[in-house]
């Protein structure tokens, strides 16, 4: 892509109003919202939002803004019987409707029944909650055809997985540098010795686009640095990653060790992201902790350095974008995925697509 799309703050602003506001993005795990009134705040496309559990277990996502004069309603995470705005104490029920507004009832022009927090679309994939700010967006099964079945087949226990830990990192790069880097393994042999030797068998690596996802697969390394529990899953010895355009990936290391990537772009050249690690029924696992440590110390640290360097290089006056290396077999040394990302990006940035976002 033209280097300016990775460098220009105005482009980033347009992305927040288009591609990042019209795609499915990860909110949090349902297990974090176990009790009525529990909530988790997060940010997508420059908007503060929160996921909230109602008294009947329904989970909704709302914009984190009071309908009175716009104060933020909630911070962080917690549990509330009702949502009370810190400014003038307007109070909302757990379904988002206004419950009462002090000294406003009975005043001319005040109709509490017409006041409700603004909701975003929410979908639940085995407890992984995704949101979309575009109320007209097609459901995830249309954007990612066959995804549910493919993950379920690969990791039948996914429904029982609960987060054990979350680790935040910051890519000092544009978010597209981060996801392009994530979605090609052409650099794996040169840059990731631990992953290439101790986790996967590089010559078996392939990545296939399916809908707007990129599905990575590989066999495990014969020199695996940790134990595989062959009885735990029919694919315990395989590696898969299901990257969901634009900012999330389910990644299943041999083991099976389920972990995720979630990128939260903050500015044109800064992309915080978190890696989350999961245990069966939330049970702690020394293997998962070990892989999480090794991954942070090696693969993630190596990628952070690569992304920082690329971001610097993209702004060099001497840089002329080179051709992508495309292998029709879609194997390890291929960047067809970078081309797929570009196509999705160009489509999402078209004015017609942008026009749908209110």
Binding stretches for ligand FES (CB under 6 A): 66, 68-71, 85, 87-88, 90
C-alpha–C-alpha distance, residues 313 and 25, integer Å: 29
Q: Report the chain's C-alpha Rg in angstroms.
A: 22
Q: Which of 261, 265, 223 is nearest to 241 (CA)?
A: 261
Count residues binding Fe ion (CB under 5 A). 1
Binding site partner of 69, from Fe ion, ligand FES, none, Cβ cut-off 5-8 A by kind: ligand FES
The DSSP-derived string for 45-60 is: TTEEEEEEE-TTS-EE
Partner from ligand FES, Fe ion, none binding residue 292, C-beta < 5-8 Å depending on class: none
CB nearer Fe ion, residue 15 or residue 303: 303
Q: How many CB atoms lie within 10 A of CB 78?
A: 12
Closest-CA residue to 51 (of 72, 141, 358, 43): 43
Q: Which is nearer to ligand FES, 85 or 214 (CB)?
A: 85
- The minimum distance between CB 192 and Fe ion, in angstroms, equals 6
Nearer to ligand FES by Cβ, of 87 and 168: the residue is: 87
CB of residue 38 to ligand FES, shortest distance in Å: 21
Q: Smallest gap, in angstroms, from Cβ of residue 39 to ligand FES?
A: 16
**Cβ proximity to ligand FES, 88 vs 148, nearer residue:** 88
Q: Closest distance between ligand FES and the C-beta of residue 63, in Å?
A: 13
Q: Report the nearest approach of Fe ion to the CB of residue 182 (Å).
A: 7
Answer with the entry of ligand FES, Fe ion, none that 90 interacts with (C-beta below 5 to 8 A by kind): ligand FES
Rounded CA gap, 126 and 278, in Å? 13
Percent composition of the chain: helix, strand, coil (DSSP 3-state, to 5):
30, 30, 40
Show contacts with Fe ion in window 284-323 (CB under 5 A).
Answer: 303
CA distances from 318 to 32, 60, 102, 307, 315 (A): 48, 49, 62, 18, 9
Question: Which does residue 308 touch among Fe ion, ligand FES, none (CB within 5 to 8 A, set by kind)?
Answer: none
| 15 contacts Fe ion (rule: CB under 5 A) | no
Question: For residue 168, what are the CA distances in angstroms to 214, 242, 292?
Answer: 23, 20, 12
Give the span between the Cα atoms of 22 and 13, in whole angstroms. 14
Interaction partner, residue 85 (ligand FES, Fe ion, none; CB < 5-8 Å by kind): ligand FES
Q: Out of ligand FES, Fe ion, none, which partner does residue 303 contact, by CB within 5 to 8 A per kind?
A: Fe ion
The one-character DSSP state at 182 is H
- How is residue 110 written in tokens? 């005040």
The pattern of x and - marking residues 247 through 286 that bind Fe ion according to CB under 5 A reads ----------------------------------------
**Closest distance of CB 89 from ligand FES, Å:** 6
Q: What is the DSSP letter of 200?
A: B
CB 141 within 8 A of CB 52: no
Give the per-residue contact string, 91-110, with Fe ion (x = CB under 5 A; - = no). --------------------
The least CB distance from residue 62 to ligand FES, in Å, is 13
> 273 exposed, middle or buried (CB, 10 Å; 0-12, 13-18, 19+)?
buried
Q: Provide, rounded to whole angstroms, the least separation between the CB of residue 88 and ligand FES.
A: 3
Task: By CB under 5 A, name the binding residues for Fe ion.
Answer: 303
């Amino acid at each position: 892509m033209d280097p300016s799309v990775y460098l220009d703050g105005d482009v980033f602003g347009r992305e927040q109003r288009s591609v990042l506001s019209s795609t499915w993005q990860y909110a949090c795990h349902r297990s974090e919202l176990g009790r009525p009134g529990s909530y988790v705040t997060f940010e997508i496309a420059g908007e503060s939002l929160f996921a909230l559990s109602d008294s009947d277990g329904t989970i909704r996502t709302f914009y984190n803004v009071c309908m009175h004069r716009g104060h933020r309603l909630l911070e962080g995470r917690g549990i509330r019987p009702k949502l009370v705005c810190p400014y003038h104490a307007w109070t909302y029920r757990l379904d988002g409707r206004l419950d009462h507004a002090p000294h406003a009832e009975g005043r001319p022009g005040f109709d509490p029944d017409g006041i409700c927090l603004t909701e975003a679309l929410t979908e639940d994939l085995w407890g992984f909650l995704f949101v979309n700010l575009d109320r007209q967006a097609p459901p995830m099964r249309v954007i990612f055809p066959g995804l549910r079945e493919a993950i379920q087949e690969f990791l039948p226990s996914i429904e029982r997985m609960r987060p054990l830990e979350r680790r935040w990192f910051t890519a000092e790069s544009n978010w597209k540098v981060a996801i392009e880097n994530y979605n090609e393994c052409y650099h794996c042999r040169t840059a990731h010795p631990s992953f290439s030797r101790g986790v996967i068998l590089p010559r078996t690596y392939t990545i296939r686009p399916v809908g707007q996802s990129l599905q990575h697969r590989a066999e495990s390394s014969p020199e695996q640095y940790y134990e595989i529990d062959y009885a735990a899953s029919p694919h315990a010895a395989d590696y898969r990653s299901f990257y969901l355009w634009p900012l999330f990936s389910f990644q299943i290391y041999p083991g099976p060790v389920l972990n995720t990537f979630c990128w939260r772009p903050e500015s044109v050249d800064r992309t915080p992201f978190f890696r989350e690690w999961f245990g069966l029924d939330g049970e702690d696992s020394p293997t998962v902790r070990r892989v999480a440590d090794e991954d942070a110390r090696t693969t993630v640290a190596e990628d952070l350095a690569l992304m920082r360097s690329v971001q610097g290089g993209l702004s060099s006056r001497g840089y002329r974008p080179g051709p992508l290396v495309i292998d029709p077999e879609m194997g390890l040394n291929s960047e067809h995925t970078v081309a797929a990302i570009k196509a999705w990006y160009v489509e999402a940035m078209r004015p017609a697509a942008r026009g749908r976002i209110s």
